[in-house]
Amino acid sequence: MLNTVIYDGPAGTPLLIAHGLFGSARNWGVIAKRLSVTRPVIAVDMRNHGQSPWHDSHAYADLAGDLADVMDRPMDVLGHSMGGKAAMVLALQAPALVRRLIVADIAPVTYTHSQDGPIEAMRRVDLAGISSRTDAKAQLSELEPGVAEFLLQSLDMTARKWRLNIDVLAAEMDKIIGFPEIAGIFEGPALFLSGAQSDYVQPEARPKIKTRFPKAKFAKIPGAGHWLHAEKPREFEAAVAAFLA
């Protein structure tokens, strides 16, 4: 069972939040707390991340099954990037569990970029020789701005280890950047919310999205890139709240 962080709210349809690659439930704490003003919110650590169990597989069918195991009733589901793909697979495979779907800056397509760079950077950190996060950050200096700080949220300084199953994530990278060939259509309301400065959801992906999610609506947050919830949290929160309302 996935590790969950629950934010109590008024009675209503709960919102389940699935984070992206290398993330965790804690990354969503501020937004989850704000959204819990109107409903219960459940943020999860995906498998091989955070405090959730480690497995040898990181296929989207498995990630979607993990989400289904957390749900004791139909819920609204929000997923970013990797979590967005898992949320889409859940909606396609078990549509009765998903009332409304929000997919943040990702499409049901295979991407060509890999995330092997951050994985190799984390592997190079001398965990036994560091005494602070500052030491670890100095060893991640070749990464793009902001990436080191993001990764360090998954560093357990007490145990001197990453809260990420790096070996499996590397071995399963083709599955993570891909999207499975699965049948199914989700007929419920769906919002595909992108960063206006991101290139993750291209116009040519929209027909494929509409085929799988015929009620899909599209919106962009000005000034935001792929990490739209971190770069423009207030605008992101407002867009999600308006859709759920």
Active-site residue 156, yes or no?
no
Nearest-CA neighbor of 163 among 19, 56, 53, 80? 53
**226 among known catalytic residues:** yes
CA distance 88 to 102: 9
Residues 6+ apart with CB under 8 A from 120: none
Q: How far apart are the C-alpha atoms of 92 and 86, rounded to whole Å?
A: 10
Comparing CA positions, the residue from 157, 118, 117 lying closest to residue 136 is 157
Catalytic position from the list 24, 36, 52, 81: 81
The residues, ordered by sequence, that sit 6+ positions from 136 with a Cβ below 8 Å of its Cβ are: 125, 127, 130, 152, 155
The catalytic position among 56, 116, 156, 167 is: 167
- Other C-beta atoms closer than 10 Å to the C-beta of 12 total 11
Number of H helices and E strands in the chain, helices first, is 11, 9
Q: Could you tell me how many residues make up the chain?
A: 245
- Cα separation, 102 vs 110, in Å, equals 19
Q: What is the spatial distance between Cα 224 and Cα 226, in angstroms, rounded to a whole number? A: 7
Residues with active-site annotation: 81, 167, 226
